[in-house]
Amino acid sequence: MHLEKQLTDMAFACGWDYCGFADLTPYHSYMSDFCGPFINQFPRAVSLIIRLSNAVVDSIEEQERDKILSFHNYNYYAIDYLQNTGTARIANYLEGNGWRAYPVPASYGVYQERLAALISHKLVARAAGLGWIGKNGLFLTPREGPRVRLASILTDAPFETAQPVESACHNCQICQLACPSGAIKGREFNEREADCERVDPAKCFNFMDNRKKEWDIEIERCVCGLCVAVCPFGKRLGSRQQR
């Protein structure tokens, strides 16, 4: 059985909906600006994607406090816990078979000045051919749009990799117009540009921080999630499932 098939079967058994394989070498220079030469140990990566509940995502469009807090708990506790335990299992399997494997925790920043994680999960997912990076700065699959969560495993395991997918956002401005902080600039993804060229992280962070103060709550993020909820790709899927 090919390694790709073994890992994909393991991923599906852990609850993921997508599993892809990325060649990281074209992005080593960019990633090393964050994490240094550490990244050069890992020429490839496994990208893992789990679909979010449409009912949960749809509920946040009205921006009601209780639904927002429930969305936060669902994303950052339930889904991330599922992903992080799964990446640990798959990484252990790879290391047990003689390869290096570094599971990168889902969605937790380590570079506070850039509001960034160790590596870009969405860049890995794009390189794995699973979708594209949208104008909202999020990763989109053709079916679910941005209604997904990502995890990655860096590795030197010898598997075949996919080709990146180009954006299908084109002239759409829905997420930009919906963003209450004005953080989304409406620019298409360009791998030669930093994320901040498309989305202003300070505006997004300040909106979340101000919302926490207004609502008098103590959580690490108080997201609005509108860029996830209003995207036409994900909304089409939600509409189909409701019929």
pLDDT band for position 243 (cuts 50, 70, 90): very low
Q: 12-15 long-range CB contacts below 8 Å, 24 or more apart?
A: 14/82, 14/85, 14/86, 14/89, 14/90, 15/50, 15/82, 15/86
39, 24 contact by CB (below 8 A) = yes
Closest C-alpha among 68, 195, 186 to residue 121: 195
Count of domains observed in the chain: 1
Measured distance CA(70)–CA(8) in Å, rounded? 30
**Each residue's pLDDT tens digit, 1-41:** 589 999 999 999 999 999 999 999 999 988 888 788 999 99
Q: Could you give the angle at the alpha carbon of 229 between the alpha carbons of 228 and 232, nearest 5°? A: 90
- Residue 192: which pLDDT band, with cuts at 50, 70 and 90? confident
pLDDT band per the 50, 70, 90 thresholds, residue 242: very low
- pLDDT value of position 194: 77
Helices and strands (H and E) in the chain: how many: 10, 6
- 241 compared with 75, residue with greater pLDDT: 75
pLDDT of residue 35: 81
Nearest-angstrom CA–CA distance, 226 and 149: 15
**pTM, to two decimals:** 0.91
What is the span of the domain harbouring residue 114? 3-242
State the pLDDT at residue 190.
85
117-157 pLDDT, tens per residue?
A: 688 899 999 999 999 999 999 999 999 999 999 999 999 99
**What is the overall mean pLDDT for the chain?**
90
Residue 191: per-residue pLDDT: 79
The answer to whether residue 64 scores a pLDDT higher than 50 is yes
Q: Name which of 112, 133, 126, 120 is nearest 201 in CA terms.
A: 112
Average pLDDT over residues 157-164: 94
Type of residue at 196:
C
User: What single DSSP character describes residue 198?
Assistant: T
Does 113 have pLDDT greater than 60?
A: no
